Structure 1
Amino acid sequence: MVGFPLHHPKGRELTGGDLLAQCLKHLGVEVAFGLHGGHLDAFLMGCEDIGIRLVDTRHETVAVQAAEGYCRISTKPGVCFVTANSGFSNGLPGLATAYGDRSPILCITSSPPLRDTENNSLQGSIDQVVAARPITKFAHRVVTPEECPRIVSHALRVAQSGPPGPVLLDFPIDVLFTPVNPNLIAWGSITSPPSFPPAPHTAAVEAAVKLFSSAQRPVIITGTGARGQPARRQLFKLAEDCSIPVFNTSKYASRTPSSPMLSQATAGTLAILPLVQMARPDLVVLLGARTGMFLGGRSGAIIPDKDCKLIQVDCDGSEIGRSHPVDLGIVSDVEAFLSAVNAALGSTAATNVDKSWVQSVLGLASMESPYEKEPEVTDSGRLHPYHAVKNLVSGIEPGSIIVLDGGEASAWVGDLASRCQPHTVMTATGYLGFLGNGFGYTLGCAIAAPDRKVVNIQGDGSAGFHLMELDTYKRFGLNIMTVVVNNSSWGMSSNGQDLVYGTDHPARPISALSSATEYDVVAKGLQNTTAKISQIAEIRSTVTKFQQTSGPSCINLIVDRKPVHPVTTAMEWTPS
């Protein structure tokens, strides 16, 4: 025996579906998200028998995205299942976002019997492996049940090694329902220790220490590659020993453990340094943070394009120098890099750092918003989005997980979310700008961290994608508060049209939504606690009350689409 002891189900033979479930359980999988399909029944029965929790959603896209949210909070691989062809097709958007955002998830699907390949059988038109390959790190069809241990362990290693990402395994229905011959099982590496992540070369550590030691105005920017608690502890040891301010990106902001060197603002705040007549950084250290849309692209606004050294640490060598010249690129796991640098520095604190500059940079987060003195109610009679969101955030419990979805709605909240001292703030739309992800991310977070409040904040546009998942939240008794920031429009679209074509132009193609839509009424029908709010005085008390109430809730928060959020202005495009 080079594997694990098999668990034989009571009253029936051990099938491929049982073996698949037992492989996942052995590899540490505790929960799987999905939607039922008869092709998968042997696997689902195996999960029930071995103790893998099954969480069923109302749409397959949400199931895949729930696996994403789960892995981001638990740091374990997320697992989802989608049935043959129809379910798989619905799950493709989730695979696409997981691929774009480097989320280590395993998607399990099924297909018609092998003998019916090319027979126009039910749910058999699309070759799922071929379709999945462009948006996964690994996609494979398992053709005998005895191959499960070898292929499953390989797939999960691929998902979690190097740049993480989604993998897909297709199990034809006959493979799942066929009895297993124990003598033919290919165990592969299923009992081997996990692979160790890449670590930095000694010379790279020495070069990094030299750059740290010479910098006067260093900053560290972290991304999802630095989200684990061990990495964060090493991060704050370095930051505190060397007086280096730390900024999260707006895509993923981890705020635990806390540190005096962690800015309450996101990295985008660095763009205002010239406006307040402060010197810009002379060293930027990117830790598991990719350049691109969340760091100002190639504008130089966040990462200076001159008179600044750049260290980029990433487990994916292809990300280093992708859009910015790099002075030191290191292919390494972030925790391994930080541990090595801390060991090399010892107890020697950086002596060149301008500590007054550091404190001034950290103080940027407390600057008064330009919207603070504007009226709480706009000329339209609706709530000013800044004031509405500020009061919303003020009622959220410290230590909550906040998931942002939508365009301007998520931007307004992202600016203020740190005020409630959250555990994590994640922007669900990701690199694809994919609206609707927040429902699945929220579900995964709530399952991964049942002791925390989870707040699912949507624009009214993004809310329309998967509002039925409020039923899922209720069925599982999850403490999720959904807030629909409702401005009766695709705010980023309509405001973008205003910016490009001017407010006098009458046409506003397909950018409006109905002001009559009652999101709270729909939510009440799905057995959520609900409220519709159009007065500032009601916001904080309602949020506080709902967070003290067990189970899911939904707030329909009525706001104006004006003023335009600066993120929309920054993205304005005008033909040359």
Structure 2
Amino acid sequence: MQTQDTLTGGQALVRLLANYQVDTVFGIPGVHTLELYRGLPGSGIRHVLTRHEQGAGFMADGYARVTGKPGVCFVITGPGVTNASTPIGQAYADSIPMLVISSVNHTASLGKGWGCLHETQDQRALTAPITAFSAVALTPEDLPELIARAYAVFDSERPRPVHISVPLDVLAAPIARDWTAEVVRRPTRGVPATEVLAAAAAKLAAAKRPMIIAGGGALNAGAEVQQLSQRLAAPVFTSVAGKGLLAVDEPLNAGSTLCTEAGWQLIAQADVVLAVGTEMADTDFWRERLPLTGELIRVDIDPRKFNDFYPCALALQGDSQHTVRALVEQLPDANAASGEAQDAVATVQAAVKASHGPLQKIHQAILDRVQAALPANAFISTDMTQLAYTGNYAFASSQPRSWLHPTGYGTLGYGLPAGIGAKFGAPQRPGLVLVGDGGFLYTAQELATAVEELDSPLVVLLWNNDALGQIRDDMLGLDIEPIGVLPRNPDFAALARAFGCEVREPQSLAQLETDLHSGFAHAGVTLIELKHTCAQ
């Protein structure tokens, strides 16, 4: 019999998470997670009620991207897990740390097909392919071990989601001992062996045209990458996840332009390419393979990247910050002459703008207005929309963790909930969501969460072209009659007002800039609907 002082497994798990410095969880309470919610009062953990489990997962993702800490969500067994599986897949594709705690049916029923409420025959198998690991806690005493294992992934491996299922009887069972303070965090910040570092440094020092590609795995290594770039006179490209790694005005910063013809032409001239913390995916390059003609050196915490689509001449397994710093220390103290490399970067940047097509010119004009109104410390969360695709390479981010885009999985509906989650991770930072009319309707219900919970600026810029524009254009490009790409949209302004948002409907780009300033001055949620006819 449980005494008043005995903690259930669910209560103890919440206390353990609080001791791991979890301050926010996203979720929706359900009959199968009640014991988790018993533990929340007095824990110091803020619970954010989302309106769909997909929203909970995307909010956890956005929280993680701006903070670097794992985002946490609570979901019920069965439909809660399947609803959350899309954001879990997105986080897996983009190497985002996320901890998903779900219930599962009673231990005695697992896999037996008894027809229990929310029953899934093998819930762990659903998420195993899209997580670093997925496990079931069969006793309350399994929980501290599994949470420690999750944080070992977040701290020392390629950060990816972890899913832990807890049966209903385990959530409700009294714990046999108090393990709520058993926090195990042993971050490893390894560097490659000295001889490998020396070989890499020698190749870089001897290179005539070295270049660097830095990704989301290098977000903590901006200063080191900049120092290495200057030491070698090496242009630096970033992936979309690495946007903002170098200062906008850094003359060797080529930005995320490796998806453009000008970027491809420049990287083809490199005799040595150093790739730091990037999987070098075609979703960043917009072509099947980069035209690399020089030797490739890779720095990555994930050894599986060394012999995949881009096998490397030298593999440096280790933490990006410490490894790049060690490379710098192996090089001569003097910076190489960088005039030619700076000119090459300036040529790329000019060529990118000059190559804009009619649609990209409209996007650039909108993005220029955004740039003019955006507060210095703001972040931008984007959806899968043509405006964001142009922004991925044409918008200059002034700092890392400021451009949140669902690159790898490419999930529609990401932008709004991820932006809301980012606000909880960095409430002092103004937020902007860039979303198209199609993607907005995937998760529009999360405006209810935003209006209810936020008391600082979040601006939602809805680019309404009354179409699934990218798919329509792709169909036309392939000589396919457009079908299913011209949906009937609701009255977005009335919808936003119904949720309690401030609403703006600019009729020109000049008015857009004014409305953006107003939105960033409003302590709450503002929806700005920009129709394509007003941006031409």
* TM-score scaled by length of structure 1: 0.85
Aligned twin of 1:513 = 487
CA shift for structure 1 position 135: 1.7
CA distance in 1, matches of 2:170, 2:288: 53
Aligned: 1:330 with 2:344: no
- 1:124-143 matches, cutoff 5 A: 124-143=119-138
CA shift for structure 1 position 560: 5.6
Distance 1:261 1:269, change over 3 A: farther
- 1:100-115 matches, cutoff 5 A: 100-115=93-108
Aligned twin of 2:146 = 151
Amino acid of the structure 2 residue aligned with 1:539: L
Aligned: 1:196 with 2:183: no
Aligned twin of 1:122 = 117
Aligned twin of 2:215 = 223
Amino acid of the structure 1 residue aligned with 2:233: S
Instruction: Give the RMSD, CA atoms, in angstroms.
Output: 3.0
Aligned twin of 1:284 = 273
Distance 1:274 1:54, change over 3 A: closer
Q: 1:335-394 deviations in whole A, cap 9, x for unaligned?
A: 1211211222262434xx553233431453355734889799xxxxxx944433432333
Structure 1, 255-264 or 434-443: larger mean CA deviation: 255-264
User: Given that residues 285 and 310 in structure 1 are in contact (C-alpha distance below 8 angstroms), is that contact kept between their aligned partners in structure 2?
Assistant: yes
Structure 1, 365-374 or 170-179: larger mean CA deviation: 365-374
Aligned twin of 2:464 = 486
Aligned residues: 532
Amino acid of the structure 1 residue aligned with 2:196: A
- 1:50-61 matches, cutoff 5 A: 50-61=43-54
Aligned twin of 1:233 = 223
CA shift for structure 1 position 539: 0.9
Aligned twin of 2:383 = 405
CA distance in 1, matches of 2:311, 2:153: 29
Aligned twin of 1:296 = 285
User: Given that residues 410 and 427 in structure 1 are in contact (C-alpha distance below 8 angstroms), is that contact kept between their aligned partners in structure 2?
Assistant: no
Match of 2:159 among 161, 164, 185: 164
CA distance in 2, matches of 1:562, 1:508: 24
Aligned twin of 1:450 = 427
CA shift for structure 1 position 444: 2.2
Q: Which runs of 5+ in 1 are unaligned?
A: 1-8, 377-382, 564-576
- 1:205-216 matches, cutoff 5 A: 205-216=197-208
User: Given that residues 287 and 314 in structure 1 are in contact (C-alpha distance below 8 angstroms), is that contact kept between their aligned partners in structure 2?
Assistant: yes
CA distance in 1, matches of 2:250, 2:499: 43
- 1:352-363 matches, cutoff 5 A: 354-362=338-346
CA shift for structure 1 position 400: 1.2
User: Given that residues 135 and 165 in structure 2 are in contact (C-alpha distance below 8 angstroms), is that contact kept between their aligned partners in structure 1?
Assistant: yes
Aligned: 1:550 with 2:523: yes
CA shift for structure 1 position 202: 0.9
CA distance in 2, matches of 1:130, 1:243: 48
CA distance in 2, matches of 1:341, 1:143: 46
Q: Which runs of 5+ in 2 are unaligned?
A: none
Q: Secondary structure at the match of 1:95?
A: helix
* TM-score scaled by length of structure 2: 0.91
CA distance in 1, matches of 2:359, 2:495: 31
CA shift for structure 1 position 455: 0.8
Amino acid of the structure 2 residue aligned with 1:237: Q
Q: After TM superposition, which residue ranges in structure 1, 4 or more long, deviate above 6 angstroms?
A: 256-259, 371-376
Match of 2:499 among 526, 536, 542: 526
User: Given that residues 453 and 547 in structure 1 are in contact (C-alpha distance below 8 angstroms), is that contact kept between their aligned partners in structure 2?
Assistant: yes
CA distance in 2, matches of 1:517, 1:483: 16
Aligned: 1:438 with 2:415: yes
Aligned twin of 1:461 = 438
CA shift for structure 1 position 51: 0.9
Q: 1:221-265 deviations in whole A, cap 9, x for unaligned?
A: 21110112xx22222222233333322212441346667255263
Distance 1:373 1:407, change over 3 A: closer
